Amino acid sequence: MTIRNVVGTDREFTIGKIVCLARNYAEHAKELGNETPAAPVLFMKPASSVIGDGDTVRIPAYSQECHYEVELALLIGSQCRGVSAEMAMEHVAGYGVAIDMTLRDVQNQLKAKGLPWEIAKGFDTSCPLSDFVPAAAVADPHALSLKLAVNGETRQDGNSSDMIHRVPQIVAHISAIFTLEPGDVILTGTPAGVGQVLAGDVMTAEIGTIGHLMIPVA
């Protein structure tokens, strides 16, 4: 059971399902040779994939190519189902920093066969996740810098202003499919610059004033 706090408040949440967007930044979709989708492309990670700041990502033995993807994470604070974009922000309790660890070789093999991606995306340690800052402390979730460095060298340097689908639309779209509950998390996609990490590397991720992660790889 993974608990995350909302910084500066007495609110804490048990992490539930983690719903993720693929290809939500045009430049990243392009770098992987994917089309930019009209509707959000969704997949999920289990709560058991979450680790915290300072914890270690462990690359499974069945992969030779593990990629980082820094992403803005949304924390759902109250249950919503079929919520409108206008009302969606009422249900966002906070914002955090996540890294969507992805076994790119495994994902590509599964995609080529038309098979589901879960073992490439939801393995143990595949979701480093920070604590959350209260939503009220973030004036505009679409004006945040997203940075990821490997061994101190910048690899991703993007901005949430480049998101294709915006936070209210994302919450509304997902809540029409999956009832969202307190403690659920949404990962909003990654900007360009994704790449490989190897055992022994250390990733640092930072999103605007929201927070940061320092995550070694083994």
Q: Which of 4, 49, 69, 170 binds Zn ion (CB under 5 A)?
A: 69
Considering the complex, what minimum distance in angstroms separates the CB of residue 157 from Zn ion?
Answer: 16
Tell me the closest approach of the beta carbon of residue 194 to Zn ion, in angstroms.
8
Residue 42 CB, shortest distance to Zn ion, in Å, is: 11
Residue 28 half-sphere exposure, CB side, CA atoms within 13 Å? Answer: 28
Residues in the chain, overall count: 218
Residue pair 67/193 in contact (Cβ under 8 Å)? The answer is no
Q: Does 205 bind Zn ion (CB under 5 A)?
A: no
Residue 38 makes CB contacts below 8 A (sequence gap 6+) with none
Record the tokens describing residue 9, joined without a space.
């408040």
Can you tell me which of 24, 125, 175, 190 binds Zn ion, judged by CB under 5 A?
190
Q: Judged by CB under 5 A, which stretch of 37-45, 107-115, 177-185, 190-198 contacts Zn ion?
A: 190-198
Cβ pair 34, 41 in contact under 8 A? no
Interaction residues for Zn ion, span 102-161 (CB under 5 A): none
- Which one, of 112, 107, 100, lies nearest residue 191 by Cα? 100
Q: Which residue is nearest to Zn ion (CB)?
A: 100
Q: Does 100 bind Zn ion (CB under 5 A)?
A: yes
Give the interface with Zn ion as residue ranges (CB under 5 A).
69, 100, 190
